[in-house]
Structure 1
Amino acid sequence: MANPTGRGSGVASPGRRSMAAAARAAAKRTERVGPGTGMPVGVAERGTDVSTGPVAVPDVVTVERPDRVERAAVPLEAPDDADQGRRPEEQHAGPVLQAGEPVAGAARARRRGRFCVALAVLVTAMLAAAAVLGWKYVDGRRTDAARVQALAAAQQAAPSVLSYDYRRLERDFAAARGHLTGSFRDEYGRTTKAVVAPTAAKYHGVVKATVVKPPAGGAPAASVVSASADKAVVLLFVNQVTTSTQVTGPRVDLNRVRMTMTRTSDGWKVSAVDAL
Structure 2
Amino acid sequence: MANPTIRGRGSTSPGRRAMSAAARAAAKRSDRVRPGPGGSAVLDTPHGPAPRRLEAPDDASQARRDENQHVGPVVLAEEVAALLPDRRRRRVRLCAFLAVLLVLGLTALGVLGREYAEGRHTDAARAQAVAAAQKAAPVVLSYDHRSLAKDFAAARGHLTGAFEEEYARTTSKVVGPTAKKYRGVVKASVVAPPNGGAPAASVVSVSPDRAVVLLFVNQVTTSTQVTGSRVDLNRVRMTMTRTSGGWKVSAVDAL
- TM-score, with normalisation over the residues of structure 2? 0.69
Q: CA deviation at 1:224?
A: 1.2
Larger proportion of strand: 2
* In 2, Cα distance between equivalents of 1:267 and 1:142: 14
> Which 10-residue stretch deviates more, 190-199 or 223-232?
223-232
**Is residue 243 of structure 1 aligned with residue 217 of structure 2?**
no
Q: Secondary structure at the match of 2:110?
A: helix
Over the aligned positions, Cα root-mean-square deviation in angstroms equals: 1.8
Name the structure 2 match of 1:168: 147
Name the structure 2 match of 1:228: 207
Q: Within 5 Å, which residues of 2 pair with 1:75-114?
A: 100-101=79-80, 103-114=82-93
Q: Within 5 Å, which residues of 2 pair with 1:1-276?
A: 100-101=79-80, 103-276=82-255
The amino acid of 2:253's aligned partner reads D
The amino acid of 2:83's aligned partner reads A
The amino acid of 1:105's aligned partner reads L
Q: CA deviation at 1:214?
A: 1.0
* In 2, Cα distance between equivalents of 1:265 and 1:149: 14
* In 1, Cα distance between equivalents of 2:252 and 2:100: 50
1:21-48 alpha-carbon deviations (Å, 9 max, x no partner): xxxxxxxxxxxxxxxxxxxxxxxxxxxx
> Which 10-residue stretch deviates more, 122-131 or 185-194?
122-131
> Which 10-residue stretch deviates more, 123-132 or 151-160?
123-132
Percent of paired sites with the same residue: 69
* In 1, Cα distance between equivalents of 2:147 and 2:77: 104
Q: CA deviation at 1:141?
A: 1.1
Q: Which runs of 4+ in 1 moved over 3 A?
A: 79-82, 95-103
- Which runs of 5 or more structure 2 residues have no equivalent in the other structure? 1-59, 65-73
1:28-78 alpha-carbon deviations (Å, 9 max, x no partner): xxxxxxxxxxxxxxxxxxxxxxxxxxxxxxxxxxxxxxxxxxxxxxxxxxx
- TM-score, with normalisation over the residues of structure 1? 0.64
1:116-150 alpha-carbon deviations (Å, 9 max, x no partner): 01111111111111122112212211111111111
Paired residue total: 186
Larger proportion of helix: 2
Q: Secondary structure at the match of 2:147?
A: helix
Q: CA deviation at 1:103?
A: 4.8
* In 2, Cα distance between equivalents of 1:227 and 1:138: 15
Q: Secondary structure at the match of 1:167?
A: coil
The amino acid of 2:192's aligned partner reads K
Q: CA deviation at 1:104?
A: 2.3
Q: CA deviation at 1:274?
A: 0.8
* In 2, Cα distance between equivalents of 1:273 and 1:103: 79
* In 1, Cα distance between equivalents of 2:96 and 2:142: 67
